[in-house]
Amino acid sequence: MKKRYKILVTNDDGYEANGLLSLVDTLRAIEGVEVTVVAPANEKSACGHSLTLVRPLRFVSVGDDFYKLDDGTPSDCVYLSLSTMYEDKKPDLLISGINRGSNMGEDITYSGTAAGAMEAVLHDVPAIAISQVMDFTNPAGDFSLACKTIKQMVIKIKNGSFPLPAREFLNINIPSEKTEAEIKITYAGYRFYANDSHVHRNPRGEEHYWLGLHPLNFSPRKDKEHLMSDYEAIERGFISITPIMLDLSAYKSIKGLENWLDMRE
């Protein structure tokens, strides 16, 4: 009997998200692929690489090989799945997404979608995070190009090998309103942020705040002129694939920091 290629799927938009359901349908249509879904019960966008340590978690079955994790994060979903469902044999691949909205530049550090992939590669499971730039006036979203792209990637990996070393994952961003697009290999761009919050008052006069959404404002890095950033690729209508590593060490600053520490007061 031919070995099944096992894929674990998660996301940060919740188990009912259209992007997740489109991804699962696409993967299950690939010959020889076995898909297990473990996704948050609720939306966990921008939760980062967080684990739940202060309360118990519970898998709830919502379909065949499809579970929601009661109030869990994407990292919880991956961590618990690997330690309970895959005790004997790890999955061949983890896919996190398809996220509703982009995950580019430093937004990767906020992203629950990226965090699901981060958690996987910490456990030596190859991983892909995939996000779709969205027109948020369209509640359903069009994930056709994202599905076509992830199918292409999965077949290439399944029939060959994963292209990155340990503790690195692929971060894919899909441009909005495109049915065909060329792929560009990119680096994570430099994002401009602003503090945007909106105050509201309840009937008792108590204040509460909503955090606002920042516009996608990026700047190219001056030392990377020979490469294209993820934002530049998306802006030009390309699919962006960025290799992301978990090592956050600022190697270029080590010597300067040593010199600073040795300086006399």
- Residue 141 contacts residue 134 (beta carbons within 8 Å): yes
Provide, rounded to the nearest whole percent, the portion of the chain with pLDDT above 90.
Answer: 78
What pLDDT score does 68 carry?
98
Q: DSSP character for 261?
A: H
At residue 2, does pLDDT exceed 80? no
At residue 95, does pLDDT exceed 80? yes
The DSSP secondary structure of 37-103, one letter per residue, reads EEEESS--TT--S----SS---EEEEETTEEEETT--HHHHHHHHHHHT-SSS--SEEEEEEEES--
CA atoms within 13 A on the CB side of 160: 9
At residue 224, does pLDDT exceed 90? no
What pLDDT score does 87 carry?
84
At residue 211, does pLDDT exceed 90? no
At residue 39, does pLDDT exceed 90? yes
The encoded tokens of residue 164 equal 């990155």
What pLDDT score does 14 carry?
97
Alpha-carbon distance of 183 to 160, in angstroms, equals: 19
Alpha-carbon distance of 3 to 32, in angstroms, equals: 8
At residue 119, does pLDDT exceed 90? yes
Provide, rounded to the nearest whole percent, the portion of the chain with pLDDT above 70.
Answer: 92
What is the tens place of the pLDDT at every residue in 125-172?
999 999 999 876 676 679 999 999 999 999 999 999 999 999 999 999
- For the beta carbon of residue 86, count every other beta carbon within 10 angstroms: 15
Residue 258 φ/ψ region, left for φ over 0, alpha for ψ in the -120 to 50 degree band, beta for the rest: alpha
Taking all residues of the chain, what is their mean pLDDT, rounded to a whole number?
92
- Rounded to an integer, the average pLDDT of 64-93 is 96
CA 235 to chain CA mean position, Å: 19
At residue 190, does pLDDT exceed 90? no
Closest CA to 237 of 187, 182, 191: 182
What pLDDT score does 160 carry?
96
What pLDDT score does 214 carry?
66
Alpha-carbon distance of 66 to 72, in angstroms, equals: 15
What is the tens place of the pLDDT at every residue in 238-258?
999 999 999 999 999 999 999
3-class secondary-structure state, position 234: helix
pTM of the entire structure?
0.92
Alpha-carbon distance of 51 to 74, in angstroms, equals: 8
3-class secondary-structure state, position 117: helix
What is the tens place of the pLDDT at every residue in 193-209?
667 777 788 888 888 87
